[in-house]
A and B are shown apart, each in its own frame.
Chain A
Amino acid sequence: MEMDAQDSKHQIALLIERQRYAQAASLLSDTLAKYPDDADLLYSTALIDYLMRRKEAAYETLRHLLTRTPTHVNGRSLMAQLHEDRNELASAEALWLELLKEYPESGWLYAKYAMLMYRAFHIAKARALAKEALRLAPESEDALIAHLLGQLIAGDRAAEKDSLAELIRKHPENLATMHMLVTHLSQQGKYVAAKRIAIEILRLQPDSREALTLVVELEHVSHWSMLPLWPLNRWGWAASGGLWLACLIALAFLRKQAPDILDMATTCILSYVAYSWIYPPILKRWLMRRAGL
């Protein structure tokens, strides 16, 4: 009987790893019927619900699991994640700290806690946690990503490049690595290159709405008709402020020096401003519809 349960658990874990959630759920329900109180099976049920975005069901299952087995490590980790998704950050923190006190050498837990601190705007603490995560687990993808995020947030370009190179070297085919690469390239204004990586992500996850949305958004900013808006996309509202100042000086110059072409210059500037406000949302809507979103 025990072998049967262990075999089933192993198969369920493999199916989950291969994202075959429906099959895993079917096998799980058969096994749970025989062993309804098995903590690992309950955790797998919650995990499948979570991965299939049935978060309320996952939450209820985890509550039931942790009432019966309050020390279940994976259960508490997933519950912490659910708390974060429900914006209950203090509750999430309490769980991560509880786990860290039990497993103080776990780089993965430090990385998860760092991500929570980034979300809660405790940036300095998050960076320190990420550094500790990397010290404890230098090969861990989560630790590398937590560390890299700190550098992206701080705008430390040189360190960001080195950390990204290390992440690619150690985890070249992981989705999370590809997402970080897309983020890095987008921040540099290299939208075409970022789009290529996003397309690869979509190939690996063809059913993912998020991956498709990412590709469409990058196609939007890299579209040929958006080229005149590249500075505004690259530097955001600072570019808008700079553009306004340049126009202010240009118009003041023309008023004094060449008043007869002032009207034409004003029309050009207003046309560019109108184009920058009206055209991008229209293009985005069209691209989204074309992609079926």
Chain B
Amino acid sequence: MQDNLLVPSLSNKRHNVGLYSVRSSFLVAFFGGPIAQILYSTLNSYRLKRPQDSLFYLGAIVLSCLLFYFQIEGGLAVLTPLVDGLLDENHITRNLPRLLALLIWGGAYLLHRNFHRSAQLFNMPAPNPWIPALLCMGVGYLLSTVIFSALAKAL
């Protein structure tokens, strides 16, 4: 056990792994939608070298596609019994993509929770999020439009 602990773990270049902050990630989810959030979260997984997170992102992509499918097919009416007479269903269904994006944000946070806490305890500066966040939101919007259009044509 002791010998395993004394094996070097870091490569010989300037350490530049900082995580994009929880705050920036939340804002990307809130304003960018589920695809943007998936793209932005993968940046942290890439920086942490965690290929095992890809299962989570695959699941998130499937859920996003399902959401688009139900939006096209009007299948969100299945929610009606849950909200019937009680809530304005248009208001709810309009915000479902944002809700899904925030759930994906929550899932990604749980995956990386220990690393975020470590960064906070050691006051490690987060990298500037502006460019990657805007890029993810832009690409996320384009991909959402493409997926939505492809599904609409197919159905």
Q: Is the CB of A128 within 8 A of B5?
A: yes
Residues of A within 8 A of B89 (CB): 252
Residues 118-155 (chain B) with a chain A CB within 8 angstroms: 118-119, 121-122, 124
Residues of A within 8 A of B11 (CB): 90
Instruction: Give the complex CA separation of A123 and B14 in angstroms.
Output: 19
Residues of B within 8 A of A251 (CB): 88, 91
Assign chain A's interface to a size class.
Answer: 35 or more
Interface residues contributed by chain B, number (CB under 8 Å): 42
Residue B66, interface by CB 8 Å = no
Return the chain B residue nearest A90 by Cβ: B10
Q: Is the CB of B92 within 8 A of A248?
A: yes
Instruction: Give the complex CA separation of A251 and B83 in angstroms.
Output: 13
Residue B99, interface by CB 8 Å = yes
Residue A88, interface by CB 8 Å = yes
Q: Is the CB of B91 within 8 A of A155?
A: no
> Which single member of B6, B15, B85 contacts A256 (CB below 8 Å)?
B85
Task: Report the minimal beta-carbon distance from B111 to chain A, rounded to whole angstroms.
Answer: 13
Q: Is the CB of B95 within 8 A of A93?
A: no
Q: Is the CB of A240 within 8 A of B6?
A: no
Q: Is the CB of B91 within 8 A of A240?
A: no
Q: Which residues of A contact B (CB under 8 A)?
A: 87-91, 93-94, 97, 100-101, 104, 110, 117-123, 125, 128-129, 132, 149, 152-155, 183, 236-238, 240-241, 244-245, 248-249, 251-253, 255-257
